[in-house]
């Protein structure tokens, strides 16, 4: 197994852990110390350049610092689908939570999210999102986790959402 194969495996991990952080990659590649970190960046740089021809790129989740594989922007725009494997129901509840978080100064409650979602029951959706590790529910309050960065570009969403509101309301 060569270094690129190891990186491919680590960066495409899905489930509880998405992608990998620097420490995990260094450990699996047998790299140590500052010099090892530089070697890792050099490898990631080379890997990222080489997978470009397949429409893929290496991205870093700014919320938890994990590196992962995603599609190039032009390819993403061509096939914009939600990363919940087409499950629009969960995607919509997820967006409701995000909007609730933007609107509230404090952590939004399940009731507030339900109002935005305009559905009688969102328990199942919240459970699914919790299983995906995207939210944590405590005492009826819903908190987004760092994993959100793997599913949505939060900054871009805020900018687009603001523009949309200014244009339409």
List residues near other proteins by CB under 8 A.
2, 4-5, 8-9, 11-12, 14, 18-19, 34-35, 38, 41-42, 44-45, 47, 49-51, 53-54, 56, 59, 62, 68-71, 76, 80-83, 91-92, 95-96, 99, 102-103, 115-118, 149-153, 155-162, 164-166, 168-169
Instruction: Specify the residue, 105 or 138, whose C-beta has the smaller distance to other proteins.
Output: 105
Which is nearest to 19 in space by CA: 60, 79, 75? 60
Instruction: Specify the residue, 45 or 131, whose C-beta has the smaller distance to other proteins.
Output: 45
Q: How far is the CB of 61 from other proteins (least distance, A)?
A: 9
Which is nearest to 126 in space by CA: 167, 93, 100? 93
Cα(136)–Cα(100) distance, rounded to whole angstroms? 15
Q: How far is the CB of 159 from other proteins (least distance, A)?
A: 7
Which is nearest to 71 in space by CA: 161, 150, 155, 157? 150
Q: How far is the CB of 34 from other proteins (least distance, A)?
A: 5
Residues near 121 by Cβ (< 8 Å), separated by ≥ 6?
A: 114
């Amino acid at each position: 197994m060569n270094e690129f194969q190891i990186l491919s495996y680590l960066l495409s991990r899905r489930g509880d852990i998405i992608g990998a952080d620097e420490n995990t990659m260094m450990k699996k590649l047998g790299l140590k110390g500052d010099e090892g970190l530089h070697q890792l960046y050099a490898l990631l740089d080379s890997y990222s350049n080489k997978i470009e021809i397949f429409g893929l790129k290496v991205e870093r989740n700014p919320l938890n610092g994990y590196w992962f594989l995603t599609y190039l922007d032009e390819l993403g725009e061509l096939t914009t689908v939600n990363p919940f494997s087409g499950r629009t129901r969960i995607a919509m509840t997820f967006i409701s939570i995000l909007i609730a978080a933007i609107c509230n100064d404090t952590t939004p409650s399940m009731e507030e999210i339900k109002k935005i979602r305009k559905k009688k029951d969102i328990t199942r959706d919240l459970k699914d999102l919790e299983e995906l590790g995207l939210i944590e529910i405590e005492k009826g309050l819903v908190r987004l986790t760092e994993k959100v960065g793997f599913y949505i570009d939060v900054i871009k969403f805020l900018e687009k959402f603001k523009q949309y509101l200014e244009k339409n309301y």
